[in-house]
């Protein structure tokens, strides 16, 4: 049972990433992902904590359809960690 996903995005440009990230909200919602928190690490990395309603659907989206978002947003690399509240 996945409660949350922590995502790390290595990006080229924060403004480009954020504009595309905001525009992708409906697709993320359809994949059962709700944004809980966003952090910036320096100029080239963003971390996002997602609440997850359906772990399989969320991971399928992040590892598949989200690649379109990644291309538009200038994501150079992304990593996802499914975690549970202890």
pLDDT of residue 67: 83
Q: Residue 82 and residue 24: Cα distance in Å, rounded? A: 20
pLDDT of residue 4: 95
Q: What is the pTM of this model?
A: 0.90
* Torsion angle, alpha carbons of 58, 9, 15, 44, to 10: 170
pLDDT digits (tens, 9 = 90+) for 3-54: 999 999 999 999 999 999 999 999 999 999 999 999 999 999 999 999 999 9
What's the alpha-carbon Rg for the chain, to the nearest Å? Answer: 12
Confidence of residue 84 (pLDDT cuts 50, 70, 90): confident
């Amino acid at each position: 049972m996945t409660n949350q996903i922590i995502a790390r995005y290595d990006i080229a440009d924060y403004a480009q990433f954020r504009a595309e990230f905001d525009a992708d909200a409906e697709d993320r919602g359809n994949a059962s992902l709700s944004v809980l928190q966003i952090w910036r690490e320096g100029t080239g990395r963003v971390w996002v904590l997602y609440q997850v309603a359906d772990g399989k659907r969320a991971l399928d989206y992040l590892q598949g359809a989200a690649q379109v978002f990644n291309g538009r947003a200038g994501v150079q690399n992304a990593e996802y960690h499914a975690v549970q509240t202890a």
